[in-house]
Each structure stands twice: as structure tokens, then as C-alpha cells.
Amino acid sequence: MKNHKSSIINHQSLVIGWLYPELMNIYGDRGNIITLVKRCEWRRIKAEVKYLNPGFSESELKSCNLLIMGGAQDRQQTIVNTDLRKHHNVLSEMIENGIPGLYVCGGFQFLGNYYREADGTIIDGLGIFDLYTENPGEDKPRLIGNIAVQSSIINHQSSIIVGFENHGGRTHLGQNIKHFGKVLKGFGNNEDGTEGARYKNSFGTYMHGPILPKNPHFADYLIKLALNVEELEPLDDALELQAHTAIAKRLRIEI
């Protein structure tokens, strides 16, 4: 039975749409792409990355079954915000239909209703996620450091996700969106003690570092959602889990 299921998976293809890799990639988020591709290759699953830079077509976007978007500085985010609006309807439809995605920092904020800068300037978002982000001002500290959250959405022996956060904005979730996890150590979104967001099969987070290499169980969860399978061939994750455990120990959290 296991061999039969593996053969089915091996004939499937993971098509990763990397949104704005040349502009939204300042925190090492390329590591998320590398992790997904390698974990597929090790299982003999074909993985293709589509580099969706400004001017990409709707057909390219629609061909993807997993979307990834990282963070950037203000100038780059302004360019991306303008271009991304051209694809609002298609992206919204894909997210509503359950196409999985990981949106980090700026990519996370773009999907919300708006972002208010420290000087009070309002930047409208796409309104796909029921949330908004506000920078409380330069007199408030950035939220920087290692973070660990307890997630209830991942069926794995460890439901703890670790990462590194670096953000000035505080993101507030609305009624129709769930948080990604409860903060065990670190800051998270805001004073509510939670981090990130989940809507349908899409995830928003402030975790950099990047997040997937040190959380192989979360990487596999995204792959399973994209391929619509319940299980994947197990891998030897000794090195990945050492990185995972090292952050947890630094935060004095038992795995």
C-alpha cells in the first residue's frame, strides 16, 4: 500500500510560484524555496519554481499550486504593491479555492486591508486577509529576536514552530481569520499573544531566518496541501531538527 501511494505522489508535480523574488527577498527567504524543492527532490517528486517578477502573466500565476512571498524594504514594497494589484482577482480566487501559500512579513501585510506607516501614511492592501497592520511610531521598539509558537494546525509529533522575527508593524486579526500559533517565547503579532495568521490554506507570518529549513514538519505540511495527499515518504530530518531544537533550547522550551 505504501509503495502504491508513493508511486502516485511521484507522478505529481509541485509548481511553486515565487512572488517577486528579486524585490521581496531581503531576509533570507530564498531558503524557503530551497527547502521545498529539495524535500520534493529527495522524495522523487518533480518540483518547478516559477519566478513571478513584475509583469508576470495571469496564466503563470494560475499554473502554480503553492505560492511563496517574502519581505522587502519600503521602496521595493511600493513597486510590488502597484504590480500585485493587477493580479488581485486571480490571487484572491486562488486563495479562496484553497491554493496553499506562505507569505512572510511584507508579503503577509500586503494581503491585509491596509498598512499604516509610522508617519501615519495609509497604504491600502488587497483585502484578501481580514487584518490590518500599524506601525506604532519610531518611539516604539522593533520586535526582534528568536520566537517559538505552539500551532494546533500541524499534525506532527512537534507542533512547535520556531523562527526569527524582525518587524516594526503590529498586525491585528479580524473576525474571519485565525492566528498561526500561540506565542511561547518572543513577541508575535501584537499584545494578544499570537503570531501570524491562517486563512483557508494560506499562512502569514513574521518569522524569518528563514522559517522552513528549521521547521521541516511545516514545510511538509505545505507540500501535502499543495499535492492534496495525506502522507509523504518520511525523510531523515536529523540536521533540520537539530536546528529546530537549538532555537527551542535557546528559548528554554522543551521539544
* Active-site annotation holder among 64, 87, 105, 217: 105
pLDDT of res. 118: 87
pLDDT of res. 155: 56
Average of per-residue pLDDT across 197-221: 94
pLDDT of res. 5: 42
Q: Domain 2-250 - what CATH class?
A: alpha beta
Judge whether 208 counts as a catalytic residue: yes
pLDDT of res. 66: 98
pLDDT in tens, 76-92: 777 888 899 999 999 99
Judge whether 217 counts as a catalytic residue: no
pLDDT in tens, 19-70: 999 888 877 889 999 999 999 999 999 999 999 999 999 999 999 999 999 8
pLDDT of res. 73: 67
* Active-site annotation holder among 87, 208, 217, 244: 208
Query: Could you tell me the three cell numbers for 57?
Result: 502573466
Q: 219-223: long-range contacts at Cβ-Cβ below 8 A with a sequence spacing of 24 or more?
A: 219/32, 219/35, 219/36, 219/39, 220/39, 221/153, 221/154, 221/155, 221/156, 222/36, 222/66, 222/100, 222/102, 223/14, 223/36, 223/39, 223/40, 223/45, 223/66
Structural domain boundaries in the chain: 2-250
pLDDT in tens, 138-192: 889 999 999 999 997 765 556 899 999 999 999 999 988 999 999 999 999 987 8
Banded pLDDT at 3 (limits 50, 70, 90): very low
Q: Of 240, 216, 221, 197, whose CA–CA distance to 66 is shortest?
A: 221
pLDDT in tens, 102-117: 999 988 999 999 999 8
Q: Of 159, 201, 153, 157, whose CA–CA distance to 180 is shortest?
A: 153
Average of per-residue pLDDT across 194-199: 95
pLDDT of res. 75: 64
